[in-house]
Amino acid sequence: MMTKEQFIKEIEAHKHEVMNKVTTDAWRNKYHIMAPMGWINDPNGLCYFKGLYHVFYQYSPLDAKGGLKFWGHYTSPDMVNWTEHEIALYPDIAADVDGVYSGSAIIHNDEMYLFYTGNVKHEGNHDYILTGREQNVIMVKSSDGFNFSEKQVLLTNEDYPKNMGLHVRDPKVWEEDGMFYMVLGARSVDNKGYVLLYQSTNLTDWKLLSVPAGGLDDMGFMWECPDTFKLEGKDVFMFSPQGIDAKGLKFHNVYQSGYAIGSFDESKHVLNLGEFDELDRGFDFYAPQTFINHDGRVIMYGWAGVPDAIEHKNPTIENEWQHCLTLPRQLVLKGDKIYQLPVDELKAMRQSEIAMNNLSLGEKKEIELFENYAFELNLEFTNSTKFRLTLREDLKLSYENGIFTLALGESGYGRDERSVAVDTIENLHIYSDHSIVEVYLNNGAEVFTTRIYNKEVDQNLVLEGEGQVNLVKWQL
């Protein structure tokens, strides 16, 4: 087992070797959070504490393909301007020697508490599903958000229900009516996904309260990254189930991330869930996490990637880095549907503006519009039953016969197309960065996130279809 000091020395040596390749890569994004080098995945420990937003994240500094996990750390006063900090958590004790896995933050009594899963894999002939693995819930706390206490192991395999396998992880903690609660995602011995609910009076001593949901035949073998919060007084359960089959236009990634509107019974022993729906229809979205902002907004970040995806690639591996996070999104509930809105703070990134009104889609138009790929584009449609937009060489956004489709060519590196059924398209709101695009349909009713790797800057937007469109483009 390595110490923190040994890790620091090894990481610094690796940084000296690779940073020139990382920082000179044209696909490094301008305004999306990335790891300084290596690999980034799940956002962790999201919170607002003492005037700063904190985003921790799963970080493999030594391997762009995803190796031993640490917790990286960024802060921002405004969710726009970010400062990188030294690694927050290292896999440096016996209970997390094989990885500081995902977790969450809670602010209590003017201190930040971080909870995470410490991963341990024993040597030997193990499948690491039923044998050979420890999944430990570990807590640290901080009075300033940067210096952390000694690690305290709170839960081990012995504290989980006997019908669960050895995949139990990703604690999300919250306070409600003077009591603390923690959900953990789990995989049962018969390969079904569950959520476990624990309760505490002091954030240290935890007892299993219930197994409120899971065991469904068509909802996968593992429920990762569970999260629960309220919108408009309704319980929302957000999670990332693994092992769901594709259904029509839905669930085409190897693993999914989504939500169900639910309701806990009074004792919190049963969580009744409605229909599961995807949060993002694109190729690159997984492991979202929320936090409640100081102004009451529910804000979500996601990982712009998917684990175990083999059908598409990220060429940045050759330059010693891979993946990024999504933009922060405010979640709003309308009926039983979540709408995702880029947070208002992002408007501060806007620079030069170009606006065009009442453009007819009846004739194909090619407009020279883009200086580079860091831009925001908003399009408002009128009387348009079909259209096709082409930008960034081979990114095609089309709508016809009630189906909206995002399609990529060579720039997708294996990403082909994803679609969703919608009655009409009123607007598209697009955030483009050097190697990622986020597309918000109809004020966030549907969202598509995809990585994209262009070799040249295509300055043109091509429009064709029916009806009219007003557009505004901001350089970012």
Which pLDDT belongs to residue 126? 97
Q: Which superfamily, per CATH, for 4-342?
A: Glycosyl hydrolase domain; family 43 (2.115.10.20)
What class, spelled out in words, does domain 350-475 have in CATH? mainly beta
The whole-number pLDDT of residue 363 equals 86
Q: Are 416 and 407 in contact (CB under 8 A)?
A: yes
The whole-number pLDDT of residue 404 equals 98
- What is the pLDDT at residue 321? 98
Taking the C-alpha atoms of residue 82 and residue 57, their distance in angstroms, rounded to an integer, is 14
3-state secondary structure the chain: CCCHHHHHHHHHHHHHHHHHHHHCCCCCCCCCCCCCCEEEEEEEEEEEECCEEEEEEEEECCCCCCCCCEEEEEEECCCCCCEECCCCECCCCHHHCCCEEEEEEEEECCEEEEEEEEEEECCCCCCCCCCCEEEEEEEEEECCCCCCCCCEEEECHHHCCCCEEEEEEEEEEEEECCEEEEEEEEEECCCCEEEEEEEECCCCCCEEEEEEEECCCCCCCEEEEEEEEEECCEEEEEEEEECCCCECCECCCCECCEEEEEEECCCCCCEEECCCEECCCCCCCEEEEEEECCCCCEEEEEECCCCCCCCCCCHHHHHCEECCECCCEEEEEECCEEEEEECHHHHHHCCCEEEEEEEECCCCEEEECCCCCCEEEEEEEECCCCEEEEECCCEEEEEECCEEEEECCHHHCCCCEEEEECCCCCEEEEEEECCEEEEEECCCCEEEEEECCCCCCCCEEEEEECCEEEEEEEEC
How many other C-beta atoms lie within 10 A of the C-beta of residue 35? 24
Catalytic residue among 25, 42, 190, 308: 42
CB within 8 A of 473, min separation 6: which ones? 353, 354, 355, 369, 370, 375, 376, 377, 378
Q: Report pLDDT digits (tens) over 412-438.
A: 999 999 999 999 999 999 999 999 999
Q: What pLDDT was estimated at residue 313?
A: 95
Catalytic-residue membership of 42: yes
Extract the residue ranges of the chain whose pLDDT is less than 70: none
Residue ranges covered by each domain of the chain: 4-342, 350-475
pTM of the entire structure?
0.98
